Amino acid sequence: MIDFELSPRLKGTQKMLRAFAEQALRPQARKYDEEEHEKPIDLITMVHGFMKGGVGGAMGGEKKKEEGGEKKEKKRSEAQLTTMITVEEIFYGDAGIALAFPGQGLGGAAVQATGTPEQKEKFLARFSGDKPVWGAMAITEPEAGSDTANIRTTAVKDGNEWVLNGEKIFVTSGKSALEDSEGFVVVWATVDAKAGRGGIKPFVVEHDTPGMQITKVEDKLGIRCSDTVSISFMDCRIPEDNILGSAEVVDPSKKSEKGFKGVMATFDATRPLVAAMSLGVGRASLDFLKQTLADEGLEVRYAISPNRMTAIERDIAEMEADLKAARLLTFRAVWMLDNGQRNSLEASMAKAKAGLAVTHITQKCVELMGPLGYSRKLLLEKWMRDAKINDIFEGTGQIQTLIIARNVLGFGRDKLK
Amino acid sequence: MLSFELSEEQAMVKETIAGFATDQIEPVMREMDESGEMSPDLVKTGWELEIIASCVPEEYGGFGEGPSALTGVIAYEELAHGDLATALHICAPTALAYTVLLEGTAEQKTALLPAACGEEFKAAATALIEPRYSFCPSMIATKAVRDGDDYLLTGQKCLAPLAAESDNMLVFATTDPGAGFAGVDAFVVPKATKDLVVGEREKNMGLKALATYEVTLNGVTVPLAAKVGGNEGIDFLNLLSRSRLALAAMAVGMMRRAAEHSRDYAKERVAFGEPIGSRQAIAFMIADMFMETDAARMLVWEAAWKCDRGEEFANDAALAKNYAADKCMKVCDGGVQVMGGHGYVRDNMPELWFRNSRAFSTLEGMVMV
């Protein structure tokens, strides 16, 4: 039966997180936007205390282990849905601070998706320790963004070690993971440059590993509380057991859930969560605008014909519909995941729609608030800057559209570039 | 608990109607648009889907438990996925039937519902829309004035479907001008009533197979009993919202059809040595079509779900309808564009969908879930 009702447990979580977002995150939002590269340590410690890395699930780590990865029976759970609601609410508070929350992040998600039970135990236990710890993931290179098959960082086996060489950029929470805590970064590198995607493997590199160095901390348009770094690897040696999954070069044309296809499957889980991030920021902007207008006595008449609405009513009605549509598409993608269904198409639809809708909504809210919107006295301009990242990271809007198009047309990468 | 799964009954409804669309509508829809004549056989078979009878309780001649908005929107999407004119024709009697079922007095239900559940299709028109650019259902100009034991109806209506062949017409008029939605009432007016003039059949841009009419009410006198709901009147916004859901669902069906057509064409049509779908300029348009179709459907489903739970859903239904109407036009425009010149000629379907899709921004109240 079609049902849009959240369980009482989830509604409770949602309410609690909304209060937390408004009381703990929102008041600090401006400060950590202005003071880029600073972090709200007290808040982070507090969050770690009651969530023990659970919010890190925000970036995809929450998935409960199904050992062996085999889906024997149709699973019904609310794990992804819970994460989506969590993400949406804390991003309603502040996107920058939310992204700086400790936890396993994308690095942990990669370990979850491709690691052995022993590796999961070894690498993930730290996130529930006493101190906040971050996990990070390094895929992007100066010459390889969405084009991940073009990765040039190399991993060469030497005795019982792997030797990594190369340069990674745009690593979210890289500094937090490697310098500010005892975390790790999952580095994607090729073991056989001629093999293309089939040769690309994930490696866990621990903090303080010699040969690894953070070379740059990016100054950004938004989400300034979250650190984004470049990392260089120069003869960086790691234990042979730190490769996640098999070292065997796989033929990409073969259907395999391991290796690179496995990574792409992780994105099916993380993309709806990036959509949820957008939704939180979009909601914050639209709520603020509507409240301001309501305070001035303007009531939006949603039910009258559009041709009788004022321009501002029409704008608001359109934004509401866009945001709601994006949210429902995200619910669907997450629900499919929780029910053991493949959701690549739906995950990309959710992210494409949410990323674009919220990019537009936050811009429109600044516009409609006139000089107040443009001023840094209010958070609207910040939300507009923060929101833009959601149309970029975890695959740009264009990449999502490409994935949707390939799915719909039934064309592989050979037929639709 | 969150779920996107159709019930067994809904899945069956969907499948049955999809079959009807493919087997019955598909072969005749172009011809009907060219001739402007709805196929009587098609209407007969469509009526056998028992869309109304399955919603009306046994005591009034059906075998249902009241209309489910969710099942309704699933059914209507499939019908319009076949053809919009056909969908509107077959569903036209729903507006009067559901208005009476949901808001009518016991006498009105007994008098009017059995005919709506009969074995033969029985047309019943709805006169809501008025011929002026600024029309809005909250500002209806047609007046209903109490005159002793009667009401006097005066005004001008248009886009009343099947008005010439209907025995009864559901006329929306205001009993309290200036009160917005709350001031609107519905009257069941027999076609033979004096001073009710059904004009010439309208010539519209699209929906050519659907007969619509201008209707003039020159001080039409109806008894108090003609007012739906008696003294209580009706919850007009609720009915209007149910009609918006019906129309939005049909827009989703059309969008899906145009998107699928574009997809299939783009895979086959070769230009510059490869299928045009291999070019991002085309492929991205098609991706958007599918994404917006799904987005609109989600809005429709959620609003329908709220409706069935008895929650406030008027704003949700309006958002869903306006969104679906807007995106339907864009998607159907894309459907022409993907085919280029071939989309512009009447040998192919996209130009028909393009004309039909423009109707949604104008249509209100014509059909209901």
A128 lies in a domain?
Answer: no
Tokens in use for B71? 């099942």
Q: Domain B8-116 is classified in which CATH homologous superfamily?
A: Acyl-CoA dehydrogenase/oxidase, N-terminal domain (1.10.540.10)
The verdict on A269 and A405 lying in the same domain is yes
pLDDT tens-digit readout, B232-289: 999 999 999 999 999 999 999 999 999 999 999 999 999 999 999 999 999 999 999 9
The verdict on A300 and A267 lying in the same domain is yes
Question: Are A151 and A197 within 8 A, CB to CB?
Answer: no
The verdict on A276 and A373 lying in the same domain is yes
CA A160 – CA A239 distance, rounded (Å): 6
Measuring CA to CA, how many Å separate A394 from each of A87, A333, B93, B99, B157?
Answer: 15, 15, 50, 49, 53
Fold classification of B125-232 (topology level): Butyryl-CoA Dehydrogenase, subunit A; domain 2 (2.40.110)
A332 CA: distance to closest CA in chain B (Å)? 7
Asked if pLDDT for residue A54 goes beyond 60, the answer is no
The average confidence (pLDDT) of chain A is 90
Q: What is the pLDDT of residue A77?
A: 85
DSSP state of A63: P
Q: What is the pLDDT of residue A253?
A: 60
**Residue A232 pLDDT grade (very low, low, confident, very high; cuts 50, 70, 90):** very high
Measuring CA to CA, how many Å separate A319 from each of A364, A375, B136, B249, B251?
Answer: 9, 22, 21, 20, 20
CATH number (1.25.40.10, 1.10.150.570, 1.20.140.10, 3.40.50.300) of B236-361 reads: 1.20.140.10
CA A280 – CA A93 distance, rounded (Å): 8
Altogether, the residues listed in chain A come to a count of 417
A119 lies in a domain?
Answer: no
A375 interfaces chain B, CB cutoff of 8 Å: no
Q: What is the pLDDT of residue A149?
A: 80
Cβ atoms < 10 Å from Cβ of A272? 33
Residue A106 CB-half CA count within 13 A: 29
A403 lies in a domain?
Answer: yes
> Between A and B, how many residue pairs show a Cβ–Cβ distance under 8 A?
154
Question: How much of chain A exceeds pLDDT 70, in percent?
Answer: 91
Tokens in use for B254? 């059309």
Would you call B2 and A404 a contact, using CB atoms and an 8 Å cutoff? no
Among B10, B137, B283, select the one facing A416 at the smallest CB separation. Answer: B283
Asked if pLDDT for residue A62 goes beyond 50, the answer is no
A116 lies in a domain?
Answer: no
Choice among A256-265, A284-293, B45-54, B218-227 with the minimum mean pLDDT = A256-265
Residues of A in contact with B296 (CB under 8 A): 325
The verdict on A279 and A405 lying in the same domain is yes
Could you tell me which residues come within 8 angstroms of residue B233 by beta carbon, excluding any fewer than 6 positions away?
Answer: B103, B175, B185, B227
What element of type H or E holds A122?
A: helix A117-124
A115 lies in a domain?
Answer: no
What CATH number should be reported for the domain holding residue A21? 1.10.540
A320 interfaces chain B, CB cutoff of 8 Å: yes
Task: Look at A148 and B94; give whichever has higher pLDDT.
Answer: B94
A339 CA: distance to closest CA in chain B (Å)? 10
The verdict on A237 and A265 lying in the same domain is no
A347 CA: distance to closest CA in chain B (Å)? 11
Among B4, B267, B287, select the one facing A335 at the smallest CB separation. Answer: B4
Last residue of a domain, one of A211, A242, A273: A242
Asked if pLDDT for residue B153 goes beyond 50, the answer is yes
A324 interfaces chain B, CB cutoff of 8 Å: yes
The average confidence (pLDDT) of chain B is 97
A212 lies in a domain?
Answer: yes
- The whole-number average pLDDT for the span B212-222 is 97
A348 lies in a domain?
Answer: yes
Tokens in use for B39? 């196929």
pLDDT tens-digit readout, B183-207: 999 999 999 999 999 999 999 999 9
- The domain containing residue A233 runs over which residues? 135-242
Residues of A in contact with B4 (CB under 8 A): 2, 331-332, 335-336
The verdict on A405 and A284 lying in the same domain is yes
Cβ atoms < 10 Å from Cβ of B106? 10
Q: Which of residues 156-195 of A touch B (CB under 8 A)?
A: none
The verdict on A211 and A318 lying in the same domain is no
Amino acid symbol at B289: M
B309 CA: distance to closest CA in chain A (Å)? 10
Asked if pLDDT for residue A65 goes beyond 60, the answer is no
What CATH number should be reported for the domain holding residue A175? 2.40.110.10
Q: What is the pLDDT of residue A254?
A: 59
Quote the pTM value. Answer: 0.94
Could you tell me which residues come within 8 angstroms of residue A6 by beta carbon, excluding any fewer than 6 positions away?
Answer: A14, A81, A85, B1, B2
The verdict on A284 and A213 lying in the same domain is no
Question: How much of chain B exceeds pLDDT 70, in percent?
Answer: 100
Cβ atoms < 10 Å from Cβ of A158? 10
Last residue of a domain, one of A242, A271, A294: A242
Choice among A45-59, A209-223, B30-44 with the minimum mean pLDDT = A45-59
Give the residue from chain A lying closest to B132, CA to CA: A307
Would you call A329 and B301 a contact, using CB atoms and an 8 Å cutoff? no
Residues of B in contact with A321 (CB under 8 A): 299, 319-320, 322-323
State the SS3 of chain B.
CCECCCCHHHHHHHHHHHHHHHHHHCCCHHHHHHHCCCCHHHHHHHHCCCCCCCCCCHHHCCCCCCCCHHHHHHHHHHHHHHCHHHHHHHHCHHHHHHHHHHHCCHHHHHHHHHHHCCCCCCCCEEECCCCCCCCCHHHCCCEEEEECCEEEEEEEEEEEECHHHCCEEEEEEECCCCCHHHHEEEEEEECCCCCEEEEEECCCCCCCCCCEEEEEEEEEEEEHHHECCHHHCCCHHHHHHHHHHHHHHHHHHHHHHHHHHHHHHHHHCEECCEEHHHCHHHHHHHHHHHHHHHHHHHHHHHHHHHHHCCCCCHHHHHHHHHHHHHHHHHHHHHHHHHHCHHHHCCCCCHHHHHHHHHHHHCCCCCCCC
In DSSP terms, which residues pair with A296 in a beta bridge?
A: none
Give the residue from chain B lying closest to A81, CA to CA: B2
CA B25 – CA B39 distance, rounded (Å): 9
pLDDT tens-digit readout, A321-333: 999 999 999 999 9
Tokens in use for A296? 């001035």
Measuring CA to CA, how many Å separate A41 from each of A37, A38, A91, A97, A176?
Answer: 12, 9, 18, 11, 11
Single out the residue of B328, B332, B364, B366 nearest to residue B252, CA to CA.
B328
Among B1, B133, B287, select the one facing A405 at the smallest CB separation. Answer: B287
The verdict on A349 and A269 lying in the same domain is yes
The verdict on A236 and A282 lying in the same domain is no
Give the residue from chain B lying closest to A402, CA to CA: B284
What CATH number should be reported for the domain holding residue A296? 1.20.140.10
Give me the residue spans of the domains in chain B.
8-116, 125-232, 236-361
The verdict on A166 and A294 lying in the same domain is no
Q: What is the pLDDT of residue A98?
A: 96
Residues of B in contact with A320 (CB under 8 A): 319
A122 lies in a domain?
Answer: no
**What is the domain count for chain A?**
3
The verdict on A272 and A367 lying in the same domain is yes
pLDDT tens-digit readout, A121-134: 999 999 999 999 99
Residues of B in contact with A276 (CB under 8 A): none
Would you call B283 and A1 a contact, using CB atoms and an 8 Å cutoff? no
What element of type H or E holds A214?
A: strand A212-217
Residues of A in contact with B1 (CB under 8 A): 3, 5-7, 78
